Every structure is written in structure tokens, then in C-alpha cells.
Amino acid sequence: MYVLDTDIMQFSEGRIVAKLGAEGLLCLAVPARGLGLAIATEDGMPRGLGPAAIATLQQLDLVDDATIEELRKRHAGAVPSFKGKPVGEIRPRLVLERGGHREPDAA
């Protein structure tokens, strides 16, 4: 079994510090860029963290393409049925924006 935060740190050779938290939370720090990120799933379930983290790493160009592919294999695979057959996948919908603070959309 692979652990997302450990894999991110290992594949980035320590350039990225990652820590999983409770209720679908992943925190990332990139000291060389002075960057800190928190990724949280709305429903508190961790199943979307892999795809969201991978999309974030890719959009911020924090790791190379080979690392993105390896993380996808480990943390963004198909959603299996109870019989183990693929029945779907989890896809990130996030698009990072550059700029200042933005208030979340009203529910």
C-alpha cells in the first residue's frame, strides 16, 4: 500500500514536504518557493486527495512528468466495484488561479 504524503516527499527528493491529516486534508510545503498549500475534500473523505494533489503538483510545475505518471498509477487509479472490476474514476476539477485572495462561491 502506498501512502500519498510519503510518495510525494520521496518522489520530490525532499523538495516538497507533505502531511496527510484528518477529514480529507493534505498539507504541502515547498520551502524553496516559499509556498504552503492545504488541500481538503469537501466531504472529508480522502479518496479525492490523490487526484487533487497530482493536479496541483502538475499545475504548479513542482515535479516532472515521470513523477506525475508514477503518482497517478499509485493514487489516481480506477474506482473498483466490490468484485474488483473498474467501474469509474475520480477526476480533479480544480484549476489553480494566480493572484490574490478569492472568496469561495456561495453554496
Q: Dump pLDDT digits (tens) for 62-81.
A: 999 999 999 999 999 899 99
| Residue 38, φ and ψ in degrees, nearest 5 | -125, 130
* Spans of the chain below 70 pLDDT: 1, 99-107
- Residue 28 Cα to chain centre, angstroms: 9
Query: The pTM is what?
Result: 0.84
pLDDT at 6: 97
Cα separation, 58 vs 106, in Å, equals 28
pLDDT at 98: 73
pLDDT at 105: 62
